[in-house]
Amino acid sequence: MRKAEALATVSLPECADSIESHPWLDNVFALATYQVDQQEVDRELGNREHDEDEEAHAASSSSSPPYTRKGLLRLYQGALKGDASVDCVTMYEEQTAAILDTKWSLASLPSSSPAKGLLGVADASGHVSLHSLQQDSADSSSRLPLLAKLPFNDHKALCLSLDWSDRIAHYPPSAAADTHLQDASLVVSQSDGSLAWLPSVAAAVQADQAMLKRVMETKFPREAVQEDEQDESDDEEDCRGEGEGASSKPLMDWPQKPIGLETWHAHDHEAWIAAFDTYSDGRIIWSGGDDLAMKGWDVRLPISRRQRAPIFTNRREFQGGVTTMQSHWAREGLWAVGSYDSKLRLFEARLPARPIATLELPGGIWRLKWHPKDSSLLLAGCMHGGFAVIRVPWLASSADGDEVDKSSLEILSTFEGHESLAYGCDWERGSSGTVREWATGTGIRSTVATEASLVYSCSFYDKRLCSWLA
């Protein structure tokens, strides 16, 4: 097992918990933060003195006031230099509500200009905001203007995670640039234990934009601004956060739920995670919660009074809340699942009652990410135990079937460059993601024959962004 060293370390202004690498653009990734406003917490609780544990409780509790949570959305450009270091340059920054999860989609949704991907952002105010990635070819600048802000509940439950139904279209990354889907579904897990499924994000965005247009026409009648059409255009850009010096917030948060949204009770405590089966065309969802349960859902089954029957429930396997899961992009039916009990488990969809492989990882598992090219590698954010890269040997071979030993898992490398909760992590998914590794022997750096993958990671209380070779 190898210990990786940091190629870049960046101090952040707020506690960081999410990193998502763009599916195909080289060295472009989004970072999100979740910051408790301690002054507001103190005021709410009568200026009582807090230690770090109390602050952590305030950050994770679904009952703490929403105004105590703020966030920051950043877009970064990384660059691997000749001396094996990495530069991480901020290209765009926006203040938001506290963010708990982010995911990229490639769906071609309605937008004022062509976008190179869509970033979904789940926040602590009960909204999912959609940001379209815009790039200026003239100066190579990039930004993430707000396309829509969709309310997923009306009682201030936190949106804890989200997933897109088009994730399998991202692979292989070299072909993703030619993939232009017209629509995608979205699933969101929430702090009240519910799941929310939006079957058509395009329809929801179109309705949101139509509502915005009606409000704009009411507030700014066309006859009042006919003498200056450019001002009208600027006002609309400012409203959506696209103009210079514009607010990042829409004109208003619509009280109406997004068109087609279905919400049902899924878990008895926080629903930490929900994810699509990448081979189900957006029909099959798995979820995990703080009730120590993992469940499966078929959205084709009817829903009545916020109730939908699961297609399976696994309550026996876990000794801690189920926090993360991801369906494999190359092996149909294979799932990686992590939980607070510090165990990584691999499940096959045909038999979700027991795992086919289990591996103990230190510190509790928060995020899992399959490698975008090497189907045998898995990246894990292990909270108190740093980050780890795991190899699944049988996925590296062409053999398959029940006769293959699928029980063995091994830790290839670890990264301990963070000093607090290791949360967000992702592989570099562009063409530059696999690079020649640098080895340090007697103080002289020299290239070696092996290749390694670039990883971005972030941590919470020490407010740190790092890049390293897995």
- Give CA–CA dist 25/76, Å, rounded: 12
pLDDT tens-digit readout, 316-333:
999 999 999 999 999 999
Q: Mean pLDDT for the chain?
A: 82
State residue 194's pLDDT score: 98
Of all helices (H) and strands (E), which one includes residue 208? helix 201-219
> All domains of the chain, ordered by start, with CATH?
2-34+68-469 (2.130.10.10)
pLDDT attached to residue 210: 78
Which residue would you say has higher pLDDT here, 432 or 261?
261
pLDDT-based confidence at 171, cuts 50/70/90? low
Determine how β-strand 118-123 pairs with β-strand 422-427. Answer: unpaired
Read off the pTM.
Answer: 0.84
**Residues with Cβ within 8 Å of residue 16, at least 6 apart in sequence:** 31, 32, 33, 34, 423, 424, 458, 459, 460, 463, 464, 465
Q: Are strands 2-3 and 410-415 parallel, antiparallel or unpaired?
A: parallel
Long-range CB contacts (within 8 A, 24+) of 208-212:
208/148, 208/149, 208/150, 208/254, 208/258, 209/110, 209/148, 211/254, 211/256, 212/239, 212/240, 212/250, 212/251
Confidence (pLDDT) at 442 = 34
CA distance 79 to 430: 12
Contact criterion met (CB below 8 Å) for 130 and 152: no
What's the rounded Cα separation, in Å, for the pair 289 and 312? 14
User: Which residue matches tokens 């980050």?
Assistant: 387
- The sheet with strand 262-265 has its strands ordered as 159-164, 186-190, 194-198, 262-265
Smallest Cα–Cα separation from 161: which of 321, 22, 36? 321
Nearest-angstrom CA–CA distance, 43 and 48: 8
C-alpha distances out from residue 310 to 88, 343, 446, Å: 43, 24, 54
Where is average pLDDT lowest: 30-34, 48-52, 67-71, 123-127? 48-52
As given in the structure block, the two tokens for residue 123 are 């926040």
